[in-house]
Amino acid sequence: MRSSHILDREAALQRWWRDSLGAALLGAESELLGEALEDVFGWELLQVGAWGGTRELLAGSRARRQTIIAASRSGAGPDVIGRASQLPITSDSVDAVLLPHTLEFAADPYSIVREVDRVLVGEGQLIVMGFRPLSLWGLRAWASRNGFPPGMRRVLSEGRVQEWLELLGYEIVARRRYLYASPWSHPGANEAATKILRRGLVDPLPSGAYLLKARKRLYTLTPVRPRFREKAPVLAGLVKPTTRSRS
């Protein structure tokens, strides 16, 4: 049975998404993903982890079917209830996977990356979104007792996630940094694109989040042709001639 602490944490996250800053971030990330998903095709796009109150992150998807899997019914209304580290999905069956801040809320984020690798087809694409530790957002997350956004366990650096993906044989094909708004600000709807996605001319703040887009490389085994054995010398086994004169 889920503890009341976890339920309270999820309720706090739901309230944060409805707040001006959370709503502005969701709107900006939906726009950002619309660009990132332009060249992502296939039959199945899987979003692992609920992020937001609706399915706005998948609005720009060109895959034939979009599926959300999460641990509970809260949030974006998942299609499947299950653990991110134990996906109830057949291996090598998904064309693209989206991890919207999913790793930061997990007890074992690397196990999720391994599980995503299992279900993703060869040459499939993976999109990871996360907050940057060396930013005001990372600072507030570190200083907040209950995490920020509410319930977040840790902040994973872009470099750490890239190392995991490269270890599994992925190629980073695109990266984007965004979130130039302060974590204490209250931007309106018109400020979402300018303050979150793009750095202003007089905005000194570093980016607070990143997006990594990677492709799962499919390595085929090339058969190695056996070397041809050298033919045995014709004179093998015969007595070699010597320079000694015959008597």
Which phi and psi (to 5°) does residue 195 adopt? -90, -15
DSSP state of 82: -
State the average pLDDT over residues 76-104: 92
State the average pLDDT over residues 191-211: 77
Residue 184: strand pairing partners: none
Q: What is the pLDDT of residues 136-157, one digit of tens each?
A: 999 999 998 888 999 898 999 9
* 152 neighbors 124 (Cβ within 8 angstroms): no
State the average pLDDT over residues 66-91: 87
Among candidate residues 107, 101, 126, 99, the one with its CA nearest the CA of residue 13:
101
**27 has pLDDT over 60:** yes
Residue-wise DSSP of 150-197: TT------HHHHHHHHHHTTEEEEEEEEE--S-TT----GGGHIIIII
* 165 neighbors 126 (Cβ within 8 angstroms): yes
**242 has pLDDT over 90:** no
**Type and span of the H or E element at 170:** strand 170-178
Q: What percent of the chain is predicted at pLDDT more than 70?
A: 79
Among candidate residues 19, 204, 29, the one with its CA nearest the CA of residue 131:
29
User: Which CATH fold topology does 4-216 show?
Assistant: Rossmann fold (3.40.50)
pLDDT band at residue 191 under the 50/70/90 scheme: low
State the average pLDDT over residues 192-200: 72
* 21 neighbors 208 (Cβ within 8 angstroms): no
What pTM value is reported for the model?
0.84
User: Domain residue spans in the chain?
Assistant: 4-216
pLDDT band at residue 88 under the 50/70/90 scheme: very high
CA distance 142 to 219: 40
